C-alpha cells in the first residue's frame, strides 16, 4: 500500500479554508478517484515539535491506495479539475510526497 501525502506549508499571511478542504475538496477527490482511494485523512496543523512553536504545515491530507499505478490511473484523468479547485481553499502551493506504507 502507498500513501500520497499533500502538505500545505504554514506561511504567514497565507489563506487556508480548513472547512472547505475537509468538507468539499477531499470528498470530491475521493469521489473522482473511486475505488482506487482506499481511504483518506485530513489534518490541521496545530503546533510544531518544540513547545510554543507553530506547525510547519497548516493543513495536509493522506490518500491511501494499493499502488502508485492505481493512484496515478485514478487521479490522472481528474488532475486538472482537482488541482483547479485549490484556489477555492488556499493560496499556498502544495508539497506532495508518495510513501510506501511499512506499518499500518
pTM (two decimals):
0.95
User: What is d(CA 66, CA 53) in angstroms, rounded to the nearest whole number?
Assistant: 35
Beta strands in 34-77 (DSSP E): 39-44, 57-65
pLDDT digits (tens, 9 = 90+) for 36-66: 999 999 999 999 999 999 999 999 999 999 9
Please give the mean pLDDT across all residues of the chain.
Answer: 98
CATH class of the domain defined by 2-88: alpha beta
> Residue ranges of the alpha helices (H) in 1-104?
18-20, 26-33, 68-75, 79-84
| Phi, psi at 69, each rounded to 5° | -65, -40
pLDDT digits (tens, 9 = 90+) for 79-104: 999 999 999 999 999 999 999 999 98
Query: Per-residue pLDDT averaged across 68-88, rounded?
Result: 98
Asked if 10 and 45 touch (Cβ cutoff 8 Å), the reply is yes
Q: What is the pLDDT of residue 13?
A: 96
User: What is d(CA 104, CA 90) in angstroms, rounded to the nearest whole number?
Assistant: 30
Domains of the chain, residue spans? 2-88
Q: What is the pLDDT of residue 69?
A: 98
Amino acid at each position: 500500500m502507498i500513501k500520497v501525502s499533500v502538505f500545505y506549508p504554514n506561511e504567514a499571511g497565507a489563506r487556508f479554508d480548513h472547512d472547505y478542504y475537509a468538507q468539499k475538496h477531499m470528498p470530491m477527490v475521493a469521489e473522482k478517484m473511486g475505488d482506487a482511494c482506499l481511504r483518506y485523512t485530513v489534518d490541521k496543523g496545530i503546533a510544531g515539535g518544540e513547545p510554543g512553536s507553530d506547525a510547519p504545515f497548516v493543513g495536509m491530507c493522506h490518500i491511501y491506495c494499493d499502488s502508485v499505478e492505481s493512484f496515478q490511473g485514478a487521479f490522472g484523468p481528474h488532475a486538472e479539475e482537482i488541482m483547479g479547485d485549490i484556489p477555492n481553499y488556499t493560496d499556498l502551493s502544495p508539497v506532495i510526497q508518495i510513501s510506501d506504507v511499512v506499518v499500518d
